[in-house]
Amino acid sequence: MVVDPLFIVGTIVCLVSVVLCIGAAILKHGPNDLTILSAAAVELFLLVYGVAAIIRQVGGEGVAGEVWEFWGYLFTALLIPVGAVWWSLMDRSRWSNLVLGAVGITVFVMLFRMEQIWDGVIPA
C-alpha cells in the first residue's frame, strides 16, 4: 500500500485531537475551546480530504475499490465530529471530552479504510 501524504496529515490531526481530548478528560476538565477546536480540525481535514478526492477523481485517478463505499465512509466520517461537538455543547461535563476524543479514533479508523478502498487493498 502506497501511503498517501493526506493520510499522514489526517493521522497527525486525529492523534493530536485524541491526545488533547483524552488529556482534558484525565485532568477532569469540561470541554473547552481547545478540545472543541481539535474536533473541528478533524472536520476541516475531512473537508479538505473530500475536495482532494474529488480533484483526484476528476483528474483521472480512479478508486480501486467501490466508489460508493469510499464516499459513504467519507460522508459518514463528516457527521461524526459534528455530532460530537453538538454533544459537548449540550453536556458540559468532562465526559464530553471522551466523546470528542472518540472522534479522532473513529475518524482515523475510517480514514484507514478509505485509503484501503482507494488503493484497492483488500482487508485481511
Q: Is residue 112 part of a domain?
A: yes
What is the domain extent for residue 55?
5-119
pLDDT digits (tens, 9 = 90+) for 19-41: 999 999 999 999 999 999 999 99
Q: Does 124 reside within a domain? A: no
Residue 1 has pLDDT above 60, yes or no: no
In-domain check, residue 73? yes
pTM for the structure as a whole: 0.92
Cβ atoms 46, 81 nearer than 8 A: yes
- Residue spans of alpha helices (H) in the chain: 5-26, 33-58, 67-90, 95-119
pLDDT in tens, 69-120: 999 999 999 999 999 999 999 999 989 999 999 999 999 999 999 999 998 7
Q: Based on the structure, what is the number of domains in the chain?
A: 1
- The whole-angstrom separation of Cα 48 and Cα 10 is 10
- The pLDDT assigned to 121 comes to 72
**What span, in angstroms and rounded, lies between the C-alpha atoms of 7 and 58?**
19
Looking from the CA of 33 toward its CB, the CA atoms found within 13 Å total 0
